[in-house]
Amino acid sequence: MSENDLITPVILSGGSGTRLWPLSTDDHPKQFLNLTGPLSMFQLTFERCQQSDLFDLPLIVGGKKHAKLAEEQLKEIGSSVQAHILEPCARNTAPAIALAALACKNPQSLMLVMPSDHVIKDVQAFQQAVRQSQSLAKARWLVTFGIEPQRAETGYGYIQQGEPVIGSANSFAAQRFVEKPNRDNAENMLAEGGYYWNAGIFLFRADAYLNALEAHAPEMLEAAKRAMDKADHDDLRIMPHEESFASAPSDSIDYAIMEKAEKVAVTPVDPGWSDVGSWDSLFEITPPDDQSNVTFGNVIAMESHNNLVHSDGLEITTFGVDDLIIIATGNQVVVLPRGQSQNVRKIVSERNKTV
């Protein structure tokens, strides 16, 4: 493989989820938390694309506010980047990826676009799916990776597969993007088969993406171009022009491009993926102790079972309680039943009212 064939990882770190409150906050969003081990999900995303025969140095696209935090976390794991693009304001994923595509030195570069707040347990399976999709992406397909669904999840979007793509190892034309379904539709899709979770991971040529933008979101492309033309540079940091970027319509890559473009493919993969989108999902992906508790930090669980107890400082003791989620950080403690963690947004908004 020639150097030009190396894939540029594009790591999106602009998210600011509050579903893992009180640990994830505006100042310290989810991707920078180390919920599953010593490394944060942001750091794990870098570890996932360190193979020198496959990956070039990554591009980061993230929020200005978290630039320092991101760079400190990279320093901790000794990772370098091609560039760190600081979004001057949040415009969702399609414009963010446009900035990265415009930053690629070679327009034919393959970009592997990845959110930085997901967990992938089987990195080998993931990388294999990437390798299998390279030829397709080179042939100007916009490739998405479809996660084999584990259950009738209503919290994710789905991708329906169409015909196999001739000449591909194991990819299909993407027939349809399905928004977060209701329970019935989720169960029907699971029963029917051929539907995958949309994990927001993509592989495509920079120019193929820019062409698709030109066709389906020309204003967005223009705004991104102006923002990059007038960008400030500071060492590896690129600071796109704020006013220009702010004029880009705010839209996700799914809505703006994937649902509309022609050559969109899906490569199925089962890499032990989770978006760690809630405390319940953290419980599900973490191996429990012998009392079936998942604990982190200074926790003693006595005669307690099936609890998630996570503390980054406070001493938590439980006695005789089951099926609870207990999260403590700083001077905040939250207690709710397992299975209810989708209500954390509600809790945050209630908390904000009273503060």
Helix or strand (DSSP H, E) at 223: helix 218-229
Q: How many other CB atoms are there within 10 angstroms of residue 345's CB atom?
A: 14
Q: Which is nearer to a second copy, 25 or 79 (CB)?
A: 25
Which residue in 150, 151, 180, 146 sits closest to 161, CA to CA?
146
Minimum Å gap between C-beta 316 and a second copy is 5
Q: Does 326 bind a second copy (CB under 8 A)?
A: yes
**What are the DSSP calls for 82-123, one per residue?**
SEEEEESS---HHHHHHHHHHH-SSTT-EEEEEESS-EES-H
Burial code of 281-311, b = ≥16 C-beta within 10 A, e = fewer?
Answer: bbbbbbeeeeeebbbbeebebeebbebbbbb
The stretch among 79-87, 124-132, 135-143, 340-348 that binds a second copy (CB under 8 A) is: 340-348
Q: Does 354 bind a second copy (CB under 8 A)?
A: yes
Minimum Å gap between C-beta 223 and a second copy is 40
Give the one residue of 300, 305, 308, 352 binding a second copy; rule: CB under 8 A: 300
Q: Which is nearer to a second copy, 284 or 322 (CB)?
A: 322
The stretch among 50-58, 150-158, 221-229, 335-343 that binds a second copy (CB under 8 A) is: 335-343
Q: Which is nearer to a second copy, 215 or 335 (CB)?
A: 335
Q: Does 336 bind a second copy (CB under 8 A)?
A: yes
The Cα–Cα gap between 285 and 21 comes to 18
CA separation, residue 156 to residues 146, 159, 200, 277, 333 (Å): 11, 10, 10, 10, 28
Give the one residue of 60, 101, 220, 328 binding a second copy; rule: CB under 8 A: 328
Length of the chain: 355
Number of chain positions touching a second copy (CB under 8 A): 30
Minimum Å gap between C-beta 23 and a second copy is 13
Minimum Å gap between C-beta 294 and a second copy is 15
Q: Does 335 bind a second copy (CB under 8 A)?
A: yes
Q: Which is nearer to a second copy, 120 or 328 (CB)?
A: 328
The stretch among 108-116, 240-248, 275-283, 312-320 that binds a second copy (CB under 8 A) is: 312-320
Q: Does 313 bind a second copy (CB under 8 A)?
A: yes
Q: Does 306 bind a second copy (CB under 8 A)?
A: no
Tokens of 198: 């949309």
Minimum Å gap between C-beta 328 and a second copy is 6
Q: Does 291 bind a second copy (CB under 8 A)?
A: no
> CB-side exposure of 51: number of CA atoms within 13 Å?
12
Helix, strand or coil, per DSSP, at residue 201: strand
Q: Does 337 bind a second copy (CB under 8 A)?
A: yes
Tokens of 17: 């989820």
CA separation, residue 139 to residues 97, 146, 216, 217, 264 (Å): 19, 19, 20, 22, 11
Q: Does 334 bind a second copy (CB under 8 A)?
A: yes
Q: Which is nearer to a second copy, 215 or 333 (CB)?
A: 333
> CB-side exposure of 240: number of CA atoms within 13 Å?
33
Q: Does 332 bind a second copy (CB under 8 A)?
A: yes
Q: Does 331 bind a second copy (CB under 8 A)?
A: yes
**What is the phi/psi pair of residue 48, to 5°?**
-75, -15
CA 274 and chain centroid, separation: 9
Q: Which is nearer to a second copy, 164 or 337 (CB)?
A: 337
Whether residue 2 contacts residue 107, with contact meaning beta carbons closer than 8 Å, is answered with: no
User: Which residues contact a second copy by CB under 8 A?
Assistant: 300, 302, 311, 313-321, 324, 326, 328, 331-337, 340, 343-344, 346-347, 350-351, 354
